[in-house]
Chains A and B, each alone.
Chain A
Amino acid sequence: DAKTTQPPSMDCAEGRAANLPCNHSTISGNEYVYWYRQIHSQGPQYIIHGLKNNETNEMASLIITEDRKSSTLILPHATLRDTAVYYCIGIAGGTSYGKLTFGQGTILTVHP
């Protein structure tokens, strides 16, 4: 699985967009980029994933660069409840049976 690098922490004002970057320069062609988050004292929560194309769902958008060496998770209108640790994970497609390798992630703090 690809090694990913994320900034240790970021701040965002409530109501503004939160843009969380992730570098995965060694990602291979069949590896997906997954994003999870962990709100304090809760289990991790799946957010979104993508391979090549940009993706959007009700929680967030994922922008993947054309060379796939980096991506950005966008929370369009951050709320205080979005304060959490965000993890970017590279996972090969196929029979990985969901083995998620969590790094240190980015601590996102949304402030009023």
Chain B
Amino acid sequence: DTAVSQTPKYLVTQMGNDKSIKCEQNLGHDTMYWYKQDSKKFLKIMFSYNNKELIINETVPNRFSPKSPDKAHLNLHINSLELGDSAVYFCASSPKSSGTEAFFGQGTRLTVV
């Protein structure tokens, strides 16, 4: 009974394609996030949504568009994929009250060729 689940786990695609990564949490949390971990293993926040409202956008290219249809889901759509987008993308959620005890998904390894 996974708390934060992402699909797919692996994604290999060609440059220029458009792809989506889905995330769902069954914890009843108000806040969800997308983080990116690059090849040097640095983890950086990309977006944060609270009750379907965008809270944080860390100067991510507008080719990346998060969508939150409800507070249990936060999907990430990426247009015109570039080689530099290759990374592991983590979805996370946290209760609004704590904000920082985040639960992370297992990650989606995106490889752009």
Contact = CB atoms under 8 A, between A and B. Distances in A.
Q: Do A and B come from one complex?
A: yes
Interface of A: 32, 34, 38, 41-46, 49, 85, 91, 95-102, 104
Q: Secondary structure at chain A's binding surface: helix, strand, loop or mixed?
A: loop
A32 B100 contact: yes
A100 B45 contact: yes
Contact of A97 (B4, B43, B50, B90): B50
A45 B50 contact: no
Give the contact-size bracket for chain B. Answer: 20 to 34
Contact of A42 (B33, B35, B56, B106): B106
Contacts of A32: 100
A96 B41 CA distance: 23
Given A44-B43, A102-B42, A97 B31 contact: yes
